[in-house]
Structure 1
Amino acid sequence: MPDSGEIRQVQASHGVDSQVRVFGVPPADKASPAEIVDGFLEAMTSDDPMLDTARKYLTEDAAKNWKPGSAVTVLSAGLDRYPVPGEKEPDQPRWKVTGKKLATVDERSAYQPETGGGRYEEYLQLVQVNKQWRIATPPSSLVLSESDFQRIYKPVNKYYFAGGTLVADPVYVRQRSDPESRMDPTTQTVQSLLAGPSKWLGPVVTSSFPSGTALRDGTKSLSYDGQNTLRVPLNAKADNVAHPQCQRMAAQLLYTVKDLTASRLDRVELLLSDGKSSLCSVTGGAAAAIANRVPSPDHQYYVDKDSRLVRMTLDVTSEDQQHQAKPEPAPGPLSTATAFKVGSAAVSYDEKRAAVVSQDGRGLYVVNLTTAGPMPASVLSSAAGKLTAPSWDALGDLWIADTDPQNAALWRVPGGTGTPQKVEVAGLGSGRISALKASSDGVRIALLVEKDGSRKNLFIGRVERPESKADASAVSVRELRPGAPQMAEVTAMSWAPRGRLLVVGRESGGVMQARYMLADGSMVAAGLPGAAGLSAIAASEDESKPVVAFSEDGIVWLPPGAQWRTAAAGGRAPVYPG
């Protein structure tokens, strides 16, 4: 670094897009069929506004009718392409393109991981047009390698209501203007929100927007004014909604766009179909009340070296040194029942009750943390196996699995006090649940599943509840899908802010690491630094709270923007409320 010399002011340039842009090369004159196929596949990955260069490789009719934006096929690597042997008509050659399918992105922008290592296979028919080779049958969807997909698309969350709680629905939109709609990323995301939830989440969430609601015709870009307000003009379908419904609509929009942009967003205003008159508006504070999210936790909990449930407060708001409060026994019956040994525990979101599993794994007990008294009777027992660590959802229901080889099952305790009900898990087959974590919104559950004593894999299930409370026993878990398909083994997981999962596991041939995953099974680039050796992990919905984990050093915690620190030399099974 220089330590002398004059000081000169440097004017920073504005609006510079540092992301790499890729543009295709148009077909050369009299290019061979192989050159046409290669050029077209490369041009599909370009940032051309309308994929104009890729269309130049097609016949006139094919270029006019090709709509690749309706779906995306994501391959784990690039495409293999070769001419089909034995073609009888050399003047109309066909090329076969193949690859290993990683995922698809459907017409609602939802990411669907491929199960079973599916193969992608399609044929490109070439014909001669004015003595130039052109493709007459392009792929039905955009076909991209994983690296190209991550360069062109970005993950965002849309938000819908489950009961009175906003739920994140992850989708992917283009980093820049969409080739077909010409909408910028913010507008693409809003349009996707208005189109409705993904097919997987749709059965358990609702949208406050009336059916058919869309952006006002001609809306391609949404922008902020000087007061950090986003104004969104809607079509006539929304002109006559009542004010409370409009407020819920605006809350959905505010949370969706707030997740998308780094810019500060203080207010969302919905406009009538005339594009000028206000329908309603909502501020961040009002939207938070409507969203009904879980409260920020007051404590973190873990099981200490004496097998007691203890809690501690970690204050990470101070500028210089995060303050660690001394651990204290959890209040209530657990503080006086010294003979009772805790194996694992979960604390309700209001921190008034704790569900604890005995050290031998045989019994589940629900204790009150606000009043003293004797230990209650067990709520659920395992005859010949062990119970997993329990988990609460924001509705107050308690979830736990029994690993009894003869009676393995997922159980739900309604309200934490009702009669335990066995929950059907569609698609589980011979798999055995070895760990679980219910999402705070109550519509998803993460399951670590072990088959035939093999490695544990992560699956996400949709929790479906009957409309009638009288039929509460019909709660079921449906449509299991891979939660971390890129990982060969998962050893621990926790729900994290904005509908993500924090997963400890390893890729094939790799080392153990902790990474954030979206609930759709796609991987978010962010990982935790120095996370080797973790065997349990817990994150809070409040992003200002540290990640807490169990390692060979005991209970450790990672505040935002800091490094791992030891919170308690002895202890295990760290949890936040939930």
Structure 2
Amino acid sequence: MAALAAFLGAVLVTGCAAIPTESQPKAIPRPDAGQATQEIPEPELGLDPLSVVREFVRNSVQPANDHAASRAYLNRRLREEWQPDSSLMVVEDEFGTVYAPEAEQPEDPNERVIALRATSLGRLAPDSSFIAGESAVREPVRVRRQADGEWRIVDPPDSIVITESDFADAYLTVPVYFFSPDSTAVVPDLRYVVARPQSGLPARVIDLLLSGPSDGLSGAVRNPLGDAATLGSNVTISNDGALVVPLTGLGDESVQERELMAAQIVRSLQYVTTSRVKLLSDGTALVPGQPEWRPSDLPAYDTVSSPSSELPGLMTVNGRVRSLATGAPIEGPAGSGAYDVVSAAQAINGQQLAVVERSADGVRLRIGDYGVAGQIVDLPADSLTRPTWRPPATKDDKSAELWTVADGERVTRVQRDPNGQWVTQRVNASELSDVGSITGLRLSRDGSRAALIVDGQLVVASVVRTPAEATLRAPRVLQEDRLNSVVDVDWIDQDTLVVATSSDRVPVARVSVDGVQLDQYNSSNLTPPMSDITAAPGRPIVVGDVGGLWTASEIGAVWRPHSNSRAAADPFYPG
């Protein structure tokens, strides 16, 4: 699937699709924000039926006045009556308009049926999130010669259709922020909104935030702003240059909850304004004693979901766990050779270690404090994927949950009970039941999403927890055409993944959490197939191939040998 724009403006690298990116996404107003009604010119005279349908698609990039520019290619009656569905179909740039077979053509010589042929890359949903999914499109479009001799569409598609390049030009990414259900880890929720006009930008961001999480994250995140919060009046700029956000409907929330609301708003606005943000609730300061905010005023909420720089990472080599920084075995049985280690995972704050070791009957899982013997978990299996930790409630707490997949099919969470024992519970993965064998699983470091490798494809699902169970919800295959031989995956940050594959074509790639963006890393010095990969916020990527470990920090950078490279090493950062 060709890449769409998740981060617009950066220079594309070799092998990526023609969608620009940028390091800092920007939020954009809703399509109807600040748009003055304007005269839409009539189509060029004398267009043939094929050109009428092609220009209808090309003009769909202009959403002004309810897509009036594309409606101009409909007949007079339909211009007022056409009601496309609320999603938007994004197709590859190369699409075709051809005459349908003669058997499908009307008897009336003044009517023709045009086949719109394209490859759909996915849909922009009504909640402004992107739902990736490749499919072939063959849409019949009926046109009729009008009384003035011009051809116009009389039976249009059910959806607005837009090409990927037009989508990249017209829509930008808006990350709006929510929280992990039981910690202060922030969770970005990517949305796509119209880029022009730019008036009313901050108000549009607030509208997106107040609409709540997208459907794909529903139930997986906490929204301190809740369902009742609204704007009491317009977002404005005060005389002293502060951006005023006048909220109402918040009720009697605690100061701590209001501070989380402030964090949601200020973080979501930081890409569209450098002004101070004045947050009001029914005319008074949202947070008592602090009416105005800048991003620098916010606590470091990311600390709970980002490994400390003092934790350099580890690697599994020939049955032992070693330090990535020195290459030396770690202290305790995992490093001494007391266990025959298959894979391991360090908790995000470094305090705990989970180990999959070989046993007489297959493999078994041990969990314990770092450097000491771990408890053997009752989870019989022939194979277990490398464990993945859920973050603790605070950076100083110990984690009480990790996940693994037993025998390629049983997604399992392991929790610490009140007595300190680790007990297992099968995750409800019914929505994955028809997908295939699961060979990899990584929880995002905020705990709200899971990335899985299923029959070589990359799948992302949200994690919905209740007191009784955990459920993988809304799984989506990402970049299914280009990523069909994935062997390992990790999270660079909360909305970006990195994958290693067995493919010569795309050995290592970075993928946005919704699958819109794929950037291929430079393959210089690498020898496919890849075997392992690890990533973390602010850390260099480390990959393994047949020659050992390699590291790089940028998409276009040449891979360099890791200073402690070992053959058959499996590297991993905490999390």
Same fold per TM (> 0.5)?
yes
- Report what 1:502 is aligned to: 498
- The answer to whether 1:87 aligns with 2:106 is yes
Q: Is the 8 A contact 1:173 1:188 kept in 2?
A: no
Aligned 1:322-337 pairs, distance under 5 A: 326-335=326-335, 337=336
Aligned 1:444-459 pairs, distance under 5 A: 444-450=449-455, 456-459=456-459
- Report what 2:206 is aligned to: 190
Query: For the structure 1 residues 521 and 95, does the alpha-carbon distance in structure 2 shift closer, same or farther, using more than 3 Å as the test?
Result: same
Q: Is the 8 A contact 1:309 1:342 kept in 2?
A: yes
- Report what 2:384 is aligned to: 387
Query: For the structure 1 residues 498 and 66, does the alpha-carbon distance in structure 2 shift closer, same or farther, using more than 3 Å as the test?
Result: farther
- My pick for the range that moved more, 298-307 or 394-403, is 298-307
TM-score (structure 1 length as normaliser)? 0.77
- Report what 1:75 is aligned to: 91
Match 2:532 to one of 529, 536, 554 = 536
Inter-partner Cα distance in structure 2 for 1:349 and 1:201: 23
Q: Deviations over 1:460-509 (max 9, x none)?
A: 2222211x3xx3xx2232332213323222121101113211122377xx
Aligned 1:21-60 pairs, distance under 5 A: 26-45=42-61, 51-60=67-76
Q: What is the CA-CA distance between 1:271 and the residue it aligns to?
A: 4.1
Inter-partner Cα distance in structure 2 for 1:285 and 1:17: 26
- Report what 1:101 is aligned to: 120
Q: What is the CA-CA distance between 1:574 and the residue it aligns to?
A: 0.6
Inter-partner Cα distance in structure 2 for 1:97 and 1:560: 40
Q: Is the 8 A contact 1:59 1:129 kept in 2?
A: no
Inter-partner Cα distance in structure 2 for 1:245 and 1:330: 41
- Report what 1:250 is aligned to: 262
Q: Deviations over 1:143-200 (max 9, x none)?
A: 122333233323332211232332122222233338xxx754x554432222121112
- Report what 1:410 is aligned to: 411
Q: Which runs of 5+ in 2 are unaligned?
A: 1-8, 12-18, 21-39, 393-398
Match 1:432 to one of 429, 433, 437 = 437
Query: For the structure 1 residues 212 and 26, does the alpha-carbon distance in structure 2 shift closer, same or farther, using more than 3 Å as the test?
Result: farther
- The answer to whether 1:113 aligns with 2:132 is yes
Query: For the structure 1 residues 363 and 143, does the alpha-carbon distance in structure 2 shift closer, same or farther, using more than 3 Å as the test?
Result: same
Q: What is the CA-CA distance between 1:247 and the residue it aligns to?
A: 2.5
Q: Is the 8 A contact 1:303 1:343 kept in 2?
A: no
- The answer to whether 1:548 aligns with 2:542 is yes
Inter-partner Cα distance in structure 2 for 1:347 and 1:58: 60
Match 2:402 to one of 394, 398, 401 = 398
Matched to 2:176, the amino acid is K
Q: Deviations over 1:302-326 (max 9, x none)?
A: 335453212244xxxxxxxxxxxx3
Q: Secondary structure at the match of 1:251?
A: helix
Inter-partner Cα distance in structure 2 for 1:42 and 1:149: 11
Inter-partner Cα distance in structure 2 for 1:272 and 1:537: 46
Q: Is the 8 A contact 1:332 1:368 kept in 2?
A: no
- Report what 1:367 is aligned to: 368
Q: Is the 8 A contact 1:425 1:476 kept in 2?
A: yes
Q: Which runs of 5+ in 1 are unaligned?
A: 1-15, 314-325, 451-455
Q: What is the CA-CA distance between 1:87 and the residue it aligns to?
A: 0.8
Match 2:175 to one of 140, 143, 157 = 157
- Report what 2:166 is aligned to: 148
Match 2:295 to one of 250, 264, 284 = 284
Match 2:141 to one of 110, 123, 134 = 123
Q: Is the 8 A contact 2:502 2:531 kept in 1?
A: no
Question: How much is the aligned-residue C-alpha RMSD, in angstroms?
Answer: 3.7
Q: Is the 8 A contact 2:225 2:261 kept in 1?
A: yes
Inter-partner Cα distance in structure 2 for 1:240 and 1:103: 42
Query: For the structure 1 residues 573 and 234, does the alpha-carbon distance in structure 2 shift closer, same or farther, using more than 3 Å as the test?
Result: same
Inter-partner Cα distance in structure 1 for 2:573 and 2:237: 38
Inter-partner Cα distance in structure 1 for 2:84 and 2:292: 36
Q: Is the 8 A contact 1:493 1:502 kept in 2?
A: yes
Structure showing greater relative contact order (alpha-carbon pairs closer than 8 Å, 6 or more residues apart): 2
- Report what 1:493 is aligned to: 489
Q: Is the 8 A contact 1:49 1:177 kept in 2?
A: no
TM-score (structure 2 length as normaliser)? 0.77
Aligned 1:201-212 pairs, distance under 5 A: 201-211=217-227
Query: For the structure 1 residues 73 and 363, does the alpha-carbon distance in structure 2 shift closer, same or farther, using more than 3 Å as the test?
Result: same
Q: Secondary structure at the match of 2:57?
A: helix
Q: Deviations over 1:330-350 (max 9, x none)?
A: 234434x43323221100112
- The answer to whether 1:344 aligns with 2:355 is no
Matched to 1:483, the amino acid is L
Q: Is the 8 A contact 2:356 2:384 kept in 1?
A: yes
Q: Is the 8 A contact 1:36 1:133 kept in 2?
A: yes
Q: Deviations over 1:107-149 (max 9, x none)?
A: 111111226x353525344462655433344434321223332
Query: For the structure 1 residues 564 and 359, does the alpha-carbon distance in structure 2 shift closer, same or farther, using more than 3 Å as the test?
Result: farther
Inter-partner Cα distance in structure 1 for 2:462 and 2:191: 17
- The answer to whether 1:475 aligns with 2:470 is yes
Q: What is the CA-CA distance between 1:86 and the residue it aligns to?
A: 3.1
Q: Secondary structure at the match of 1:299?
A: coil
Q: Is the 8 A contact 1:344 1:359 kept in 2?
A: no
- My pick for the range that moved more, 141-150 or 388-397, is 141-150
Q: Is the 8 A contact 1:26 1:39 kept in 2?
A: no
- Report what 2:376 is aligned to: 378
- My pick for the range that moved more, 474-483 or 40-49, is 40-49
Q: Is the 8 A contact 2:116 2:141 kept in 1?
A: yes
Inter-partner Cα distance in structure 2 for 1:394 and 1:224: 40
- Report what 1:294 is aligned to: 305
Q: Is the 8 A contact 2:522 2:558 kept in 1?
A: no
Q: Is the 8 A contact 2:438 2:454 kept in 1?
A: yes
Q: Is the 8 A contact 1:488 1:506 kept in 2?
A: no
Aligned 1:219-238 pairs, distance under 5 A: 231-234=243-246, 236-238=248-250
Q: Deviations over 1:33-58 (max 9, x none)?
A: 34432332222245878755433323
- Report what 2:31 is aligned to: none
Inter-partner Cα distance in structure 1 for 2:496 and 2:212: 20
Query: For the structure 1 residues 238 and 57, does the alpha-carbon distance in structure 2 shift closer, same or farther, using more than 3 Å as the test?
Result: farther
Identity %: 23
